[in-house]
């Protein structure tokens, strides 16, 4: 499987690289930037294009216009798009971040795979007290009638504006109305899948995020309790669904 992971030279997505490598082999997994997309990197031999987490405004700043049109063309012609957290926000029609608060972001997006709104962060899981993300937290998703654990870092709930054009694969089990947490759909001959949470994080990844150093910027990861059920089975399942 040939996989391209988008990089904007701001977000670090090495954990996603290692997770995909463990599931599908590292041999054909590469990073790709906006310049390379404009030069034709999203060719027909690319099986999967991954838009990872981070902050979607940095990605949009490089991709809006010609590059996003190439992304849509790639999917329409049979490609697969996996959007995680920020990559999910920017694939919805509209993004609302910290709506009505000092760090509010409201924007229309160009990819528009999901017919609706991506709204976050989820107040029950984290505060929108900055423009980027929330503290790390493990949350429960309901998937196929069972609960699975996944890492939350400021992801959205999906609010559809239509009754068709998407499928709900998982919901937030801990929230009263159980809003959508993972959605998927088709675009042209291809398919897309958007995850609010980070399925690329397993317990090993969390352990590697713990540092005993001066000025540790990742203390929130150290406060997470170990959970042996946090594994890559969810990510593997989503990859299978995307190519189903």
What per-residue confidence (pLDDT) applies to 244?
84
| 19, 70 contact by CB (below 8 A) | no
C-alpha Rg value of the chain to the nearest Å? 17
**115 Cβ contact partners less than 8 Å away, ≥ 6 residues apart:** 93, 160, 161, 162, 165, 166
Q: For residue 239, is pLDDT > 80?
A: yes
What per-residue confidence (pLDDT) applies to 10?
86
Total domains, the chain: 1
- Look at strands 137-143 and 146-152 and give their pairing: antiparallel
- Check which CATH number belongs to the domain holding 23 and give it: 3.40.50.880
Q: For residue 190, is pLDDT > 80?
A: yes
| 89, 96 contact by CB (below 8 A) | no
pLDDT tens digits along 23-51: 999 999 999 999 999 999 999 999 999 99
Reported in sequence order, the residue ranges of 48-104 that DSSP labels E, i.e. its strands, are: 48-51, 80-84, 92-97
What per-residue confidence (pLDDT) applies to 9?
86
- The pTM assigned to this predicted structure is 0.97
Domain residues for the domain of 186 are 3-242
């Amino acid at each position: 499987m040939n996989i391209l992971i988008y990089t904007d030279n701001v977000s670090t997505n090495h954990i996603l690289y290692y997770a995909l490598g463990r599931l599908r082999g590292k041999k054909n997994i590469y990073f790709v930037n906006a310049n390379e997309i404009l030069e034709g990197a999203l060719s027909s031999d690319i099986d999967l294009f991954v838009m990872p987490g981070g902050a979607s405004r940095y990605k949009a700043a490089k991709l809006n216009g010609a590059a996003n049109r190439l992304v849509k063309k790639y999917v329409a012609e049979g490609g697969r798009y996996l959007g995680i957290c920020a990559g999910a926000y920017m694939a919805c029609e509209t993004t609302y971040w910290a709506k009505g608060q000092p760090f509010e972001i409201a924007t229309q997006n160009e990819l528009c795979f999901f017919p609706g709104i991506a709204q976050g962060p989820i107040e029950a899981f984290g505060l929108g007290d900055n423009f980027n993300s929330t503290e790390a937290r493990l949350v429960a998703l309901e998937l196929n009638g069972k609960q699975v654990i996944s890492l939350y870092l400021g992801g959205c709930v999906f609010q559809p504006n239509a009754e068709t054009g998407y499928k709900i694969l998982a919901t937030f089990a801990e929230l009263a109305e159980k809003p959508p947490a993972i959605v998927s759909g088709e675009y042209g001959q291809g398919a897309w899948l958007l995850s609010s949470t980070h399925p690329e994080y397993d317990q090993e990844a969390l352990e590697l995020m713990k540092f005993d150093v001066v000025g540790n910027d990742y203390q929130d990861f150290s406060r997470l309790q170990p959970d042996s059920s946090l594994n890559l089975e969810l990510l593997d399942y989503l990859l299978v669904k995307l190519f189903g």
